[in-house]
Amino acid sequence: MTLKLGVNIDHVATLRQARRASRPDPLDAGAIALASGADFVVVHLRKDQRHIHQKDVANLCKLFPKQIHLECACSDFGEKAALTCKPHSVCIVPELPGEVTTTGGLNFTPAVQKRLFKMIEKLHKKHILVSLFVNPVAADLRIAAKLGADVVELCTAAYSQAKTQKQAQKLLQELTLAALLAQELGLKVHAGHGLDYHNVLAVADIGGISCMNIGFAIIARSLFTGLPAAVEEMKNLL
């Protein structure tokens, strides 16, 4: 299976917002990422719109209707934005106030499951593929399948923060088992969060993952190498 690469361009908008300016434009970043080998452009529309704005998502979806992967929360705001912008696919993620970045997979409380079920149904009616960001835990994968998700994105945050080789191996094993179970449940498997040019290799070796979503490492490297080289280098690793 060829591993696809989704390049998250949120932090191009972070730089723009540092000066509340109009550049660098995420639209330019999206075009360059796709021209340099990315299969998808990923954007996380947060409720506070601290980096990517809804207008960015709308413009990206108009320009690249089949290549925009939107991350948003299970909320009225996220749902409305997704249904209005109509990206190719949506990954529903947890969003906690004050967090620097997403800290883990969805917490499937009964109330969250009820809300997710409705949101997934609405997104499917608009022919939008739905992914759920999950921890690599069997019970959560079963819930994702039951709720009707098409894809699970396995959260690699814990693996990417492993302090020792032994810890990394244990977490990789969890990701491997989760990828196997997800496929058995009929789900497509993505992975992402905290991946970089070093730790991505072991995850890429896990069978069954079809797409990796990577942002911070690529945008950080692009400051020194340029975005085309940073994207090409990551794509070549997969």
Q: Give min distance, CB of 85 to ligand PXP, in A.
A: 17
Q: Give min distance, CB of 212 to ligand PXP, in A.
A: 9
Clarify whether 193 is annotated catalytic. Answer: yes
Q: Give min distance, CB of 177 to ligand PXP, in A.
A: 20
Clarify whether 174 is annotated catalytic. Answer: no
Longest dimension (CA), the chain: 48
128 to 167: interface string for ligand PXP, x by CB under 6 A: -----x-------------------x--------------
Per CB under 6 A, which of residues 94..113 are in contact with ligand PXP?
A: 101-102
Of 8, 176, 199, 222, which lies in the binding site for ligand PXP, with binding defined by CB under 6 A? 8
Choose the binding region for ligand PXP from 31-39, 74-82, 110-118, 190-198 (rule: CB under 6 A): 190-198
214 lies in the site for ligand PXP, by CB under 6 A? yes
SS (H, E, C) the chain: CCCEEEEECHHHHHHHHHCCCCCCCHHHHHHHHHHCCCCEEEEECCCCCCCCCHHHHHHHHHHCCCCEEEEEECCHHHHHHHHHHCCCEEEEECCCCCCCCCCCCCCCCHHHHHHHHHHHHHHHHCCCEEEEEECCCHHHHHHHHHHCCCEEEEECHHHHCCCCHHHHHHHHHHHHHHHHHHHHCCCEEEEECCCCCCCHHHHHCCCCEEEEEECHHHHHHHHHHCHHHHHHHHHHHC
30 to 59: interface string for ligand PXP, x by CB under 6 A: --------------x---------------
- Size of the residue set binding ligand PXP (CB under 6 A): 19
Q: What residues make contact with ligand PXP under the rule CB under 6 A?
A: 8, 10, 44, 71, 91, 93, 101-102, 133, 153, 192-195, 213-217
Which residues does the annotation mark as catalytic?
44, 71, 193
